[in-house]
A and B are shown apart, each in its own frame.
Chain A
Amino acid sequence: NAGVTQTPKFQVLKTGQSMTLQCAQDMNHEYMSWYRQDPGMGLRLIHYSVGAGITDQGEVPNGYNVSRSTTEDFPLRLLSAAPSQTSVYFCASSFQGATEQYFGPGTRLTVT
């Protein structure tokens, strides 16, 4: 059981570039979510999904897209990277809603 996996671990982008952060879970969880962690800001919800084909916005969705075509995968797309998106990104999953969520190890993204 790998739990929640995220790739890549580290990424450096130039302003304007696009990329996809990958997230996968093998626990058959319906609920998946993406957070970003910035110094002094805690964890802020970007997007979440309550099941395959269903996504919704969180607190800070601008500049990010998501899709959920399978139960296992929940990729996060940065359409045109900006320095304000420099952050650590965490993916999480749970059986339902905001119960105990299992977090991945994170992706540290730097946008120059």
Chain B
Amino acid sequence: DQQVKQNSPSLSVQEGRISILNCDYTNSMFDYFLWYKKYPAEGPTFLISISSIKDKNEDGRFTVFLNKSAKHLSLHIVPSQPGDSAVYFCAASEAGANSKLTFGKGITLSVRP
């Protein structure tokens, strides 16, 4: 049973426009959420995170929104740049110092020049 779902496998947007990547989860015990970015032949790199006590976290062009009642989070990238083209993974964890990350399947973002 997939606890973190990224239902759209790919997204294509024009350079300069907004990219919105969505993620849904089923485990109500999740209380910390992260986005990772992955280029081909490289390891994932951390992008941004949000705790369940917040509904928004912003870092430069990247903003993550959390809707706990809907068990939904989204990553907004504004403005999108060609260098943002990558696979984006949503991940979630329960509370606790030794908790584990559960990843979604990833979304491939293509930003067209």
A residues adjacent to B (C-beta < 8 A): 4, 31, 33, 35, 40-45, 48, 50, 58, 90, 92, 96-106
Complex: how many Å from CA A105 to CA B43?
4
Residues on B with beta carbons closer than 8 Å to the beta carbon of A101: 46, 101
Query: Are A42 and B105 in contact (CB-based, < 8 A)?
Result: yes
Residues on A with beta carbons closer than 8 Å to the beta carbon of B46: 100-102
Contact with A along B27-41 (1 / 0, CB 8 A): 000001010100001
With contacts A42-B106, A97-B93, A99-B32 known, is A104 near B43, CB below 8 A? yes
Q: Mind listing 16 A-B residue pairs with CB under 8 Å? A: A31-B98, A35-B103, A40-B105, A42-B6, A42-B105, A43-B89, A58-B100, A90-B44, A96-B97, A97-B99, A97-B100, A98-B32, A98-B99, A100-B49, A104-B43, A106-B42
Residues on A with beta carbons closer than 8 Å to the beta carbon of B44: 43, 90, 103
Complex: how many Å from CA A33 to CA B45?
15
From residue A78, how far is it (CB to closest CB) to chain B in Å? Answer: 20
Task: Provide the main secondary structure of the chain B interface.
Answer: loop
| 10 closest residue pairs by CB, A with B | A98-B93, A103-B43, A42-B105, A43-B103, A98-B101, A50-B98, A98-B99, A100-B46, A97-B99, A42-B103
B residues adjacent to A (C-beta < 8 A): 6, 9, 32, 34, 36, 41-46, 49, 89, 91, 93-94, 96-106
Query: Are B97 and A97 in contact (CB-based, < 8 A)?
Result: yes
Complex: how many Å from CA A106 to CA B44?
9
- From A44, A50, A96, B103 is in contact (CB under 8 Å) with A44
Complex: how many Å from CA A42 to CA B42?
14
Query: Are A96 and B101 in contact (CB-based, < 8 A)?
Result: no
Residues on A with beta carbons closer than 8 Å to the beta carbon of B42: 105-106
From residue A95, how far is it (CB to closest CB) to chain B in Å? Answer: 9
Residues on B with beta carbons closer than 8 Å to the beta carbon of A40: 9, 105
From residue B19, how far is it (CB to closest CB) to chain A in Å? Answer: 19
- From B43, B96, B99, B101, A4 is in contact (CB under 8 Å) with B43
From residue B25, how far is it (CB to closest CB) to chain A in Å? Answer: 13
